Amino acid sequence: MLFQIFDAFKSRLHDSNSKVNQVALETMHKMIPLLKDNLSPVINMLIPAMVDNNLNSKNPGIYAAATNVIHALCQHLDNYLLLQPFCTKAQFLNGKAKQDMTEKLA
């Protein structure tokens, strides 16, 4: 059930409408402390959706919301759940997003 919900939700995390995208990121930020490690089955699907375009966004609201989500993940999820997806993203991203992910890994 969780997978079906987040499979539908992930497309909002990189919606072409910046307002929808930002609200989805802000909503994700609110859900992380509530769901915590229960997100483990969907974390490999969510991190790319949250990070790919959002950490390199020129829109300051989207960038701030994306960094808040990454911070919330680090704060509320067990680090071993984040290590592999963060390493993968840090390896293949560029620009500010690569720098942000590398700093979180360190």
Domain presence at residue 10: no
The pTM for the full model equals 0.91
Domain presence at residue 34: yes
Residue 53 has pLDDT above 90, yes or no: no
| The three-state (H, E, C) secondary structure of the chain, written as one string | CHHHHHHHHHHHHHCCCHHHHHHHHHHHHHHHHHHHHHHCCCHHHHHHHHHCCCCCCCCHHHHHHHHHHHHHHHHHCCHHHHHHHHHHHHHHCCHHHHHHHHHHHC
Look at the chain and count its residues.
106
Domain presence at residue 85: yes
pLDDT tens-digit series, residues 11-37 = 999 899 999 999 999 999 999 999 999
Domain presence at residue 3: no
What's the structural domain count of the chain?
Answer: 1
Domain presence at residue 12: no
Whole domain around residue 52: which residue ranges? 19-104
**Mean pLDDT, range 47-75, rounded to an integer:** 94
